[in-house]
Amino acid sequence: MSNTERTYIMIKPDGVQRGLIGTIIQRFEQRGFILRGLKMMSVEKSHAEAHYADLSSKPFFGGLVEYICSAPVCAMCWEGKDVVKTGRKIIGATNPLASEPGTIRGDFCIDVGRNIIHGSDAVESAQKELALWFPDGVCEYEHAMKPWIYE
Ligand code: UDP
Ligand code: MG
């Protein structure tokens, strides 16, 4: 199978507090992606800053770090064909009001600063983010559904 990738998906504190973990997992799982890593985590300021290092010069950076550290997040690793780009499509646009209905952000949120979910934007950033959030690796196992999902 070509284009098998892994991506870092994170349900942000507002998604966790609003009880959307199950709904979000269901969307990725039902599509056929494989869950390789899953954990609840209270995020240290330095860890949130490292995750969003590329945005450190933005005016919203301080508020963003505070938001990510305000309550636990649900950190996940999902695997599948083209999962990085497809994951971003499932999530929707950064600004929820610009997200299509049917996407996670388009269905469940309104403000850009409370957009409930993160998804890696490229294969290289996914690798960096997975190394940061899952330093001990993820769960390697054979998925029984694979031949029923991939030709
Ligand atoms: N963000 C914000 N205000 C902005 C732009 C972004 O608060 O004007 C937050 C928002 O939570 C977003 C995160 O910063 O999800 C990371 O921004 P990025 O541009 O990487 O968007 P994403 O990749 O999450 O769609
Ligand atoms: Mg981003």
pLDDT per residue of the chain (151 residues) written in tens, 0 to 9: 567 999 999 999 999 999 999 999 999 999 999 999 999 999 999 999 999 999 999 999 999 999 999 999 999 999 999 999 999 999 999 999 999 999 999 999 999 999 999 999 999 999 999 999 999 999 999 999 999 999 9
CATH number for the domain including 15? Answer: 3.30.70.141
CA distances from 108 to 18, 22, 24, 74, 112 (A): 10, 13, 10, 17, 12
Q: Is residue 133 within 8 Å of residue 10, measured between CB atoms?
A: yes
Domain coverage including residue 53: 6-148
Whether residue 27 is contained in a domain is answered as yes
Q: Is residue 41 within 8 Å of residue 70, measured between CB atoms?
A: no
Q: Which ligand is nearest to the CA of 88?
A: 1
Instruction: Report how far Cα 132 is from the mean position of its chain's Cα atoms.
Output: 13
Whether residue 65 is contained in a domain is answered as yes
Neighbouring CB atoms inside 10 A of 88's CB total 18
Of all protein residues, the one whose alpha carbon is nearest to atom 12 of ligand 1 is 94
**How many domains would you assign to the chain?**
1
Question: Known catalytic residues?
Answer: 118
Whether residue 1 is contained in a domain is answered as no
Instruction: Name the pTM for this structure.
Output: 0.97
Of all protein residues, the one whose alpha carbon is nearest to atom 25 of ligand 1 is 94
Residue 112 Cα to ligand 1 midpoint, Å, equals: 7
Q: Is 12 annotated as a binding residue?
A: yes
Whether residue 63 is contained in a domain is answered as yes
Whether residue 11 is contained in a domain is answered as yes
